Amino acid sequence: MHSLSMLGITKRFGTLVALDRVDLHLRAGEVNALIGENGAGKTTLMRILYGLERADSGIIECDGKKIDIPNPQTAVRLGIGMVQQRLRQFPNMSLLENIVLGAEPSRWGLLDANLARSRLANYCHLLKLEADWSTPLGELPLSTRQKVEILRLLYREAQVLIFDEPTSVLTPQETEELFGIISRLKTEGKTIVYISHKIWEVLRISDWVTVLRKGTLQCTLPTREATAESLTRAMIGEDLQPLRQEGSSIRSKVALEVRNLSVRSAWRELKSVTFIVSQGEIVGVAGIEDSGQQELVQAILGLLTPSQGEIVLDNILLNPLSVSQRRACGLAFIPEDRDREGACLDFSIAENLIATRLHNPPVKRGLFIDWGAVRRLAKDQMRRYSIRAPSVWTSVSQLSGGNVQKVIIARELYRTPKLLLAVHPTRGLDVGATRSVHEQLLALARDGCGVLLISSELEELFALCNRILVMREGHLVGDLKATHATPKIIGSLMLGLEATNG
């Protein structure tokens, strides 16, 4: 296969036009980046190429010949493979079984593991994969599982490999490793399609870049001719203004006070943590993953019972209160896991928006839900937070990640809370969506709400926070004014290299 072209591809979902006459040429042996905001149509376009969706109109050509891809099996036969954003694997089956499943080499009707292993040896070297073939996949980290997925495609002799936002589940080190793999695949002569919304990634690894915005093709150009600014403009249709940071909005009154808090979960223990968040203040929590942030959040929300210490929100002791009572006191929560804790995917946008206000008018009328009022409320919220969907009754499972996050934020900020617990609120979001979340957090602080922001991105913490707390192994090891802190100080506190206090 030398070249692959998609011409005039159009796809509609109901009244929403996901793709409008989009052309895409994939050059063999090169990294073709596909970039755009969430919901721009990148994934839909590739799902069409991989046979998961049918285009309403438009054709796909391979070496000038028109081809039809009605299902993924055909795509695989044509040498096209896709590493999906949410890996579809069998966690209970071994690494080897996951790779060969569906194309097992067999002898006497049994799986010939030796043959499979020898076929894979080369590729393993390429991917620098070192793992026991018999390990159940579920026990391996996500980065390894992603490699297994790549291996699965190579095993099927894929020539075109589509990566759908592969770094959204990876740490910075793992991302570097993946880039190494992609460039090695390129030297092997594979054609790569790299879907992303992170501009620096695309500038780093791609040869060609195609920009989509709201389902329409903006431009295709060689990456060396692109700049971060030009791509941003093409993606969001305007220049990105610097974040507005107007003076300090901190007030003297305390929003949240955590005193001597100890919590034990199945994984980790949080030990004697003490800090305050003032009204109008954004306090960041830095720390390497799983240093006790989860326990802190769950204790404040009311999902974990502390073994000692007090949590006080606006002069009310939260310890004896239930989650819904705490929320009624003015606590709001943007969880880390959008799809599981943040939203109910089977439910409509409207139903998701009312989840925290079931017992308040206008939602509740007697024992009943007033769906008319709910519809009006949801319509209003969709407009205010520019949630893109055909209707308020659209199932949340059909929304892109950015739009799901908008639904969550719209729900949590419906009545200005006194304290917002935001956990990785921009993880996996594109430039525009990240920006709008940041602006909302700043606006919230201006209105006097305290914000406790847990994030793994130091850039985000420095851009937004007044103070930064650092956690390590369940202890609070630093409480610094953002103006006094540097990434280096925070980094060494996170890793425990030296003790500094600001």
φ, ψ (nearest 5 deg) of residue 299: -70, -40
Report residue 152 CA to chain centroid gap: 24
Q: Is residue 128 at the binding interface for other proteins, with CB under 8 A as the rule?
A: no
Of 224 and 340, nearer to other proteins (C-beta) is 340
Min dist. Cβ of residue 23 to other proteins (A) = 27
| Dist. CA 494–CA 65, nearest whole Å | 56
Of 103 and 358, nearer to other proteins (C-beta) is 358
Q: Is residue 14 at the binding interface for other proteins, with CB under 8 A as the rule?
A: no
Of 397 and 501, nearer to other proteins (C-beta) is 397
Q: Segment contacting other proteins (CB under 8 A): 27-35, 134-142, 177-185, 327-335?
A: 327-335
Q: Which of 500, 501, 423, 487 is nearest to 458 (CA)?
A: 487
Q: Is residue 218 at the binding interface for other proteins, with CB under 8 A as the rule?
A: no
Buried b / exposed e over 462-480, threshold 16 CB at 10 Å, is bbbbbbbbbbbebbbbbeb
Kindly identify the residues of this chain, within the stretch 266-285, that bind other proteins according to CB under 8 A.
Answer: none
Q: Is residue 345 at the binding interface for other proteins, with CB under 8 A as the rule?
A: yes
Q: Is residue 245 at the binding interface for other proteins, with CB under 8 A as the rule?
A: no
Q: Is residue 333 at the binding interface for other proteins, with CB under 8 A as the rule?
A: yes
Q: Which residue in 3, 307, 324, 501 binds other proteins (CB under 8 A)?
A: 324
How many chain residues are in contact with other proteins, going by CB under 8 A? 31
Of 148 and 389, nearer to other proteins (C-beta) is 389
Kindly identify the residues of this chain, within the stretch 348-367, that bind other proteins according to CB under 8 A.
Answer: 351, 354-356, 358-359, 363-364, 367
Q: Is residue 66 at the binding interface for other proteins, with CB under 8 A as the rule?
A: no
Kindly identify the residues of this chain, within the stretch 150-189, that bind other proteins according to CB under 8 A.
Answer: none
Of 334 and 429, nearer to other proteins (C-beta) is 334
Q: Is residue 443 at the binding interface for other proteins, with CB under 8 A as the rule?
A: no
Q: Which residue in 16, 344, 373, 443 binds other proteins (CB under 8 A)?
A: 344
| Dist. CA 414–CA 378, nearest whole Å | 11
Min dist. Cβ of residue 224 to other proteins (A) = 42
Q: Which residue in 326, 418, 424, 467 binds other proteins (CB under 8 A)?
A: 326
Q: Is residue 323 at the binding interface for other proteins, with CB under 8 A as the rule?
A: yes
Q: Segment contacting other proteins (CB under 8 A): 75-83, 169-177, 237-245, 332-340?
A: 332-340
Q: Which of 297, 308, 295 is nearest to 267 (CA)?
A: 295
Which residue has tokens 């500094």?
500
132: buried, middle or exposed (CB in 10 Å: 19+, 13-18, 0-12)? exposed
**410 secondary structure, DSSP code:** H
> 454: how many CB neighbours lie within 10 A of its CB?
23
Of 227 and 322, nearer to other proteins (C-beta) is 322
The angle at the Cα of 483, spanning 199 to 413, to the nearest 5 degrees, equals 65
Give Rg (Cα) of the chain.
25
Min dist. Cβ of residue 324 to other proteins (A) = 3
Q: Is residue 347 at the binding interface for other proteins, with CB under 8 A as the rule?
A: yes
Kindly identify the residues of this chain, within the stretch 373-432, that bind other proteins according to CB under 8 A.
Answer: none
Q: Is residue 301 at the binding interface for other proteins, with CB under 8 A as the rule?
A: yes
Min dist. Cβ of residue 343 to other proteins (A) = 7
> 125: how many CB neighbours lie within 10 A of its CB?
10
Of 302 and 428, nearer to other proteins (C-beta) is 302
| Dist. CA 90–CA 10, nearest whole Å | 33
Strands (E), 127-253: 160-164, 191-196, 208-213, 216-222
Of 301 and 431, nearer to other proteins (C-beta) is 301
Q: Which residue in 188, 290, 346, 447 binds other proteins (CB under 8 A)?
A: 346
| Dist. CA 40–CA 235, nearest whole Å | 9
Query: Is residue 377 within 8 Å of residue 354, measured between CB atoms?
Result: yes
Q: Segment contacting other proteins (CB under 8 A): 166-174, 239-247, 337-345, 443-451?
A: 337-345
Q: How do strand 316-317 and strand 308-313 relate by DSSP bridges?
A: antiparallel
| Dist. CA 42–CA 202, nearest whole Å | 14
Of 396 and 493, nearer to other proteins (C-beta) is 396
| Dist. CA 283–CA 474, nearest whole Å | 18
Q: Is residue 121 at the binding interface for other proteins, with CB under 8 A as the rule?
A: no
| Dist. CA 460–CA 479, nearest whole Å | 17
* DSSP letters spanning 261-294: EEEE-SS-EEEEEEEEEETT-EEEEE-SSSSSHH
Tokens of 3: 């070249």
Q: Is residue 67 at the binding interface for other proteins, with CB under 8 A as the rule?
A: no
Of 362 and 502, nearer to other proteins (C-beta) is 362
**Contact positions vs other proteins (CB under 8 A):** 301, 303, 322-327, 333, 335, 337, 340-347, 351, 354-356, 358-359, 363-364, 367-369, 371
